[in-house]
């Protein structure tokens, strides 16, 4: 038995003694084993180094979520709490320029190994959300945000909610599919303000 287990690890790569216990229960590999295989299977390229395979608390916990197994309430609360603590709001107005926000929402590049790290990243909002009615090519992974400001009111409180949600979605909804644009350094403060304006400026096409 022992020999067999050792032979088996060519695929799973050596992940220390965790292999022994994992073999007992339906051969589900441990997170450490999975990570070891990933590290043996990926190569650093461009700006995407191998450290991107190292998970933070949110990523680790949310990797256990399955279609039929949502995150446990106490873990969800832990995530929301820890991520609330990361929120940073700029002094002064949270509203930038909706026209720039539309560009950020359209742009899908940024942070890929094929992207030039000197160029600012986009938010690619349209990949998942409907926003301006003029853009028919929008995704449905997230809810439609068409008429967001008009529907929810052009209040300072709502601006703050939108800024925070874009900055770190996990602070509001544990294991959200939406990236943590501010917290993970994808978007700059100005870019987030521009996206807030896209949703919250009464003149933005989103609200027409």
Partner 1 sequence: MRPKRIAAAALAAGILSAGLALAQDKDSTSRQIERYREALADGNPAELWEARGESLWKEKRGPKAASLERCDLGLGPGVVKGAYTVLPKYFADTGKVEDLESRLVTCMVALQGFTPEQAKKDPFGGPGKKVPMDALVAYIASESRGMPMHVSIANPKEREAYELGRQIFFYRGGPHDFACASCHGAEGKRIRLQDLPNLTNPADARRAYTTWPAYRVSQGEVRSMQWRLNDCFRQQRFPELEFTSPASIALSLYLARTAEGGVMDAPAIKR
Would you call 159 exposed, middle or buried from its count of C-beta atoms within 10 A (0-12, 13-18, 19+)? buried
Footprint on residues 145-174 left by partner 1 (CB under 8 A) = 145-148, 151-152, 161, 170, 172-173
Of 122, 166, 167, 180, the one binding partner 1 by CB under 8 A: 180
Pick 50 or 72: Cβ nearer partner 1: 50
Give the integer Cα–Cα distance in Å for 8 and 5: 5
Of 20, 70, 116, 144, the one binding partner 1 by CB under 8 A: 144
Nearest approach in angstroms of CB 92 to partner 1 is: 23
Instruction: Name the 3-class secondary structure at 6.
Output: helix
Number of shown-chain residues binding partner 1 (CB under 8 A): 73
Q: Which two tokens stand for residue 144?
A: 């439609």
| Contact mark string toward partner 1, 21..40, x via CB under 8 A | -----xxxx-x-xx--xx-x
User: Which residues have C-beta within 8 Å of that of residue 125, sequence separation ≥ 6?
Assistant: 104, 105, 106, 131, 145, 195, 198
Pick 180 or 193: Cβ nearer partner 1: 180
Nearest approach in angstroms of CB 77 to partner 1 is: 8
Give the integer Cα–Cα distance in Å for 177 and 56: 15
Q: What's the CA angle centered on 45, arms 39 and 47, to 5 degrees? A: 110
Q: Which two tokens stand for residue 104?
A: 């950020």
Asked if 8 touches partner 1 (CB under 8 A), the answer is yes
Nearest approach in angstroms of CB 84 to partner 1 is: 8
Of 83, 130, 159, 191, the one binding partner 1 by CB under 8 A: 130
Nearest approach in angstroms of CB 203 to partner 1 is: 18
Footprint on residues 53-112 left by partner 1 (CB under 8 A) = 53-55, 58-59, 62-67, 77, 80-81, 111-112
Residue with token string 């995704």 = 139
Alpha helices in 115-155 (DSSP H): 125-128, 148-152
Q: By C-alpha distance, which of 123, 138, 127, 140 is closest to 181?
A: 123
Q: Which segment (8-16, 87-95, 96-104, 190-198) binds partner 1 by CB under 8 A?
A: 8-16
């Amino acid at each position: 038995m022992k020999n067999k287990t050792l032979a088996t690890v060519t695929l799973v790569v050596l992940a220390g003694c965790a292999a022994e216990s994992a073999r007992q229960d339906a051969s589900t590999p441990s997170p450490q084993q999975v990570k070891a295989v990933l590290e043996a299977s990926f190569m650093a390229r461009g700006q995407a180094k191998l450290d991107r395979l190292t998970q933070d608390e949110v990523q680790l916990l949310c990797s256990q979520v399955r279609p039929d197994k949502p995150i446990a309430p106490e873990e969800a609360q832990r995530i929301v709490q820890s991520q609330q603590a990361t929120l940073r709001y700029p002094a002064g107005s949270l509203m930038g320029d909706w026209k720039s926000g539309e560009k950020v929402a359209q742009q899908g590049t940024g942070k890929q190994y094929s992207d030039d790290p000197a160029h600012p990243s986009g938010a690619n909002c349209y990949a998942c959300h409907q926003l301006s009615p003029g853009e028919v090519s929008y995704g449905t992974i997230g809810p439609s945000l068409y008429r967001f400001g008009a529907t929810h009111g052009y209040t300072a409180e709502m601006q703050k909610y939108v800024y925070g949600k874009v900055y770190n979605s996990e602070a509001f909804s544990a294991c959200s599919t939406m990236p943590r644009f501010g917290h993970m350094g994808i978007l700059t403060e100005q870019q987030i303000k521009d996206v807030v304006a896209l949703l919250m400026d009464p003149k933005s096409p989103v609200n027409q």
